[in-house]
Every structure is written in C-alpha cells, then in structure tokens.
Amino acid sequence: MTIEDIITQAKERNAEEDYEEAFQLYSKAIDVLPNDPDLYSARGVVLFHLDKKEDSLIDMNKALDLEPNYSYRYSSRAYIKASLGMTEDAILDYKKCTELDPEDAIAWNNMGLLEDQLGWNKKAGKTFKKADSLEKVLKDKDITLDKKSELPEPKPEIPTSKNRIIKEVFTKKETFKEFVKFVRSGFKIKNN
C-alpha cells in the first residue's frame, strides 16, 4: 500500500466518521511523512472528533510549527483552544489568523464572539463591525450572508449529529454557508 493509498483511506474513514480508523491511518502516514503539516492538521481534527482535545491541540501546534504562515491553521487551533476554555489564547490565534488573512470574516466573527464572552464589549463591537464589513468579500467568494437566513433551493440535508455538523461546517461549502447564515441570523434556525 502506498502512502497515497493510506492518506486516501484516512480521508475516507474520516468522511465516514470512523475516527478511530482515520486516526490510525493518519498516524501511519505521519510515520512515513513526519514533516507534512496537512497530516498533523487532519489528524488533529480527527482527535477533536474523538473528544481528545488536548491531543488535537498538540497536533495542530505541530502543523503550525511546520507551516507557521497558514492562516486557517490558526483559526482551527483557536477553535480547539476555545473549546478547552483557553479563551484569551484562542483570541490571540484568531488575531494571528486575521493578520495573515485580513479578509477571513469567520475568524473576525469568532474572535468577536470570544471577546464578547469575556465582557470586552467595546472591542467585540469593533471586531463584529470588521466582520460585517467583509460581507462583500464573502459575497465575491459566493458566500451569501443575507439576513433572511433562508435556505437555498434545493434545501440541503441538515446533519443530525454534533460531530457531523462540526465536520461538515469545515468540509462542505453548502454547510459552511448555512453556518454563516445561522451565525448572522443571531443563532436562530428558520423552519420552512
């Protein structure tokens, strides 16, 4: 079996939510390619789904050590840190993400949510304003942030499990769009 086969199988197991097997396969791939940041990042996501958040953070740190200027990894690590209650550290990662990619409206929004959580209302307001100003940028990337929160036709299937929702937000364009709409609508689900 080639390394490409192992990575392909790892991605397939991850997509099937067979996280234990995906973890094993990504670990095997890392043994062969120990300096591949994508493998550490992917395994970090799998570990997060396995509720091994501290180990997930270790893998994301390694991915960033190997590729320190990739903004999305900072955003991913911030998400992990926030889930571990490391709110201020998560904010710092979102800041780094937005320094590397100033048009990442989701990172700006998530940073605002954490700032608001800490009671930093003035700072959060400025951060949310920045996220709102990027709405045009997202529209240019074919991501609609209309305030109506209506689902596009045809209506996409809504995932039922928490892990599937988290995974699909970061791996499927339509689910990401729906997540953005959900956040923009004030966390309200519109039933059709």
Mean per-residue pLDDT, 76-91: 96
**pTM, whole model, 2 decimals?**
0.70
pLDDT in tens, 27-46: 999 999 999 999 999 999 99
User: What is residue 152's predicted lDDT score, i.e. its pLDDT?
Assistant: 30
User: What is residue 146's predicted lDDT score, i.e. its pLDDT?
Assistant: 39
- The domains spanning 1-68 and 69-134 adopt the same CATH topology: yes
CB 59 within 8 A of CB 40: yes
What CA–CA distance (Å, rounded) separates 47 from 30?
Answer: 14
User: What is residue 133's predicted lDDT score, i.e. its pLDDT?
Assistant: 82
Structure tokens at 66: 């190997």
Of residues 143 and 97, more confidently modeled: 97
User: What is residue 188's predicted lDDT score, i.e. its pLDDT?
Assistant: 54
Fold observed for domain 1-68:
1.25.40
pLDDT at 169 over 70: no
The residue extents of the domains of the chain are 1-68, 69-134, 142-187
CB 10 within 8 A of CB 36: no
Helices 53-66/37-49 angle, 10° precision: 170
Choosing among 3.40.50.2300, 2.40.50.1070, 3.40.50.720, 1.25.40.10, the CATH entry for 69-134 is: 1.25.40.10
DSSP designation for 32: H
What CA–CA distance (Å, rounded) separates 98 from 166?
Answer: 21
Sign of torsion over alpha carbons 164, 165, 169, 170: negative
What CA–CA distance (Å, rounded) separates 135 from 40?
Answer: 31
